[in-house]
Amino acid sequence: MRSPWFKKISIVFGPRPPLNWLLLCVVIVLLLVALLGSSSSSALKSVTSVAKSDTYRKLKQQATNDYLELRTLSAGANRIEVSLCGKDRENYVPCYNVSANLLAGFKDGEEFDRHCEVLQDRQHCLVRPPKDYKIPLNWPTGRDVIWSANVKLSKDQFLSSGTRTKRLMLVEENQISFHSDDGTDDVQDYSHLIAEMIGLTSDTEFHQAGVRTVLDIGCGFGSFGSHLLSLNIMAVCVAAYELMGSQVQLALERGLPAIIGNFISRQLPFPSLAYDMIHCSQCGIVWDDKDGLFLIEVDRMLKPGGYFVLTSQISRQYGSSVNPKKGSMSTPIEEFAQNVCWNLLAEQEETFIWQKTTDALCYTSSRQKKVPLCKGEDTQPYYHPLSHCINGKNSKRWNPIQNRSSGSLSSTKLEIHGVHPEDFFEDLEFWRASLRNYWTLLSPLIFSDHPKRPGDEDPLAPYNMVRNVMDMNAHFGGLNAVLLEARKSVWVMNVVPMGAQDTLALILDQGFAGVWHDWCEPFPTYPRTYDLLHANGLLSHIASQGCSMIDLLFEMDRILRPEGWVILSDKLGPIEKARSLAIQIRWEARVIDLENGSDQRLLLCQKPFLRK
């Protein structure tokens, strides 16, 4: 006798109440929250570290800000300025405007880097899909076949229509198909080759050898990553912003993890000791440039005992084969590799594999002192300039990948991350319950007032209803963990916002994808790349950071595909404000009261398919 959870929910606002009345309610609630906030430490979970009086001051400030912002909203015809962007913004990624960067004085390659500071007025317009855009096919079909109108290809790529290109892509009529895993393809051979080179008999043994996460720099059309995913390895593609034929856009369109990132002047937004393998196949980076600075960045992100795999037509001149005498410093890259304590494991054809040392003392042995050790460890890692020194050596997380125990996180492991096991497992339990609720909500029926909402008799949303999920405030990665547990066919981009508890290393150590990000800025991805955006407590968090909720919602609209879903969970105040904005940017929106006695609310939204 199961009483469905959603029958218990009450939809808080049906027809819209007069705005003045609503305004008054919200302000009263906010003030109450503010007053109670000084005595209740749970009132603002995301800023628990702030002293009580400080919390009180902040909340009061916030209540005032919210009131003012709401009043602005209600002024005029209760509307913010919402227009549709022009056709030139169909594939718009903010912060990568080369001409604007050049005007701002960036040069020597830095004009291709991400520069959000150059972004002046953040235009509030809705990015529209290209003509002929179609909703992507569900996983796993969508991995191998995409709609060609959905991505922006270059002329060359289109010219290859009808023939199999080097990058294993076939363009037909309105579809692009990719090589599937049929056991006879080049990607699989390549993966086997790498496995053999690191001493395994097959690539199915990567896992046992400690390789669970791979950073794939410049992933082509994502086929290598797709193969690794099929081996249960989390492969994240990182590549530069490209105006056309973007590797990141293609990978995401196929439902493969990817993010825009550069090796130019700043570190990638990942912690030290993050990946088990870093892979570059013709990725276009000149590794011996800038005194090996890019190799030092690779070293920073690699876990001890991890592998750097380089495949390149020119890697022959990189490797030591030019001079067969072992250990001779014949080429710059080999010399750099030795300086950072990497061991050239194997070379074959155009592929070279180095292994990072497992011995932290290696860096201090006399032979290696050419690259100094960093003074502090990873103090301000986001937007940190590339460093000329070795990072991570003194980390408590220094543990060779070969020593990793299998199975779930142990208590000792959690304590290394500064997390109490009880907190972690309680959090997981909370997400188990939440996911069950969420999944019943993912139905357009939820927006209809009459005659019925989803009920017992309605089937649940299918397991592959969404593929690319972003948890915008991921905390321990609990939502990701329970989605996998429940065998949903998703991968999750776990975002750890700046200013929140830094749990990114813990997320990555669970074998998940994750990244640091400042939500006051746009996210480094193409439009329409996520199927579901989830954020618990993010609205309160960005308010405490002093950022604009309007900017945030427009950005969410940009990165969400048409008919994609949004689940926001927060306190009543921010949720009401977000609802008012969501409606103005034309999302379907519902506030859901969990009726458990708290002022926590869910805001469930769906983005419409705007065709013109």
Ligand X SMILES: *[C@@H]1O[C@H](CO)[C@@H](O)[C@H](O)[C@H]1NC(C)=O
In the complex, the residues that contact ligand X under the rule CB under 6 A are 92, 97, 99-100, 103, 399-400, 403, 594, 596-598, 600
Q: Considering beta carbons, is residue 170 or 345 the nearer one to ligand X?
A: 345
The DSSP annotation for 548-593 comes to: -HHHHHHHHHHHEEEEEEEEEEEEHHHHHHHHHHHHHTT-EEEEEE
Please, are residues 472 and 519 in contact by the beta-carbon 8 Å criterion? Answer: yes
Please, are residues 488 and 52 in contact by the beta-carbon 8 Å criterion? Answer: no
Please, are residues 503 and 477 in contact by the beta-carbon 8 Å criterion? Answer: yes
Q: Considering beta carbons, is residue 226 or 399 the nearer one to ligand X?
A: 399
Q: Considering beta carbons, is residue 314 or 433 the nearer one to ligand X?
A: 433
Residue 42 CB, shortest distance to ligand X, in Å, is 8
DSSP three-state, residue 522: coil
3-state helix, strand, coil in the chain (%, to 5): 35, 20, 45
Q: Considering beta carbons, is residue 124 or 143 the nearer one to ligand X?
A: 124
Residue 472 CB, shortest distance to ligand X, in Å, is 16
Q: What angle do CA 70, 74, 80 make, to 5 degrees?
A: 90
Q: Considering beta carbons, is residue 162 or 597 the nearer one to ligand X?
A: 597
Tell me the β-bridge partners of 308.
278, 354
Count of CB atoms within 10 A of residue 78's CB?
A: 12
Residue 360 CB, shortest distance to ligand X, in Å, is 8
Residue 526 CB, shortest distance to ligand X, in Å, is 13
Please, are residues 543 and 35 in contact by the beta-carbon 8 Å criterion? Answer: no
Residue 229 CB, shortest distance to ligand X, in Å, is 28
DSSP three-state, residue 494: strand
Residue 557 CB, shortest distance to ligand X, in Å, is 17
SS3 of 372-402: CECCCCCCCCCCCECCCCECCCCCCCCCCHH
The DSSP annotation for 417-454 comes to: TT--HHHHHHHHHHHHHHHHHHHHH-SGGGG--SS---
Q: Considering beta carbons, is residue 97 or 180 the nearer one to ligand X?
A: 97
Q: Which residues of 186-207 are buried (b: 16+ CB within 10 A; e: fewer)?
A: ebbebbebbbebbebeebeebe
Q: Considering beta carbons, is residue 184 or 596 the nearer one to ligand X?
A: 596
Q: What angle do CA 23, 497, 92 make, to 5 degrees?
A: 85
Q: Considering beta carbons, is residue 80 or 100 the nearer one to ligand X?
A: 100
Residue 391 CB, shortest distance to ligand X, in Å, is 17
Q: By beta-carbon distance, which residue lies closest to ligand X? A: 100
Q: Considering beta carbons, is residue 49 or 99 the nearer one to ligand X?
A: 99
Residue 583 CB, shortest distance to ligand X, in Å, is 23
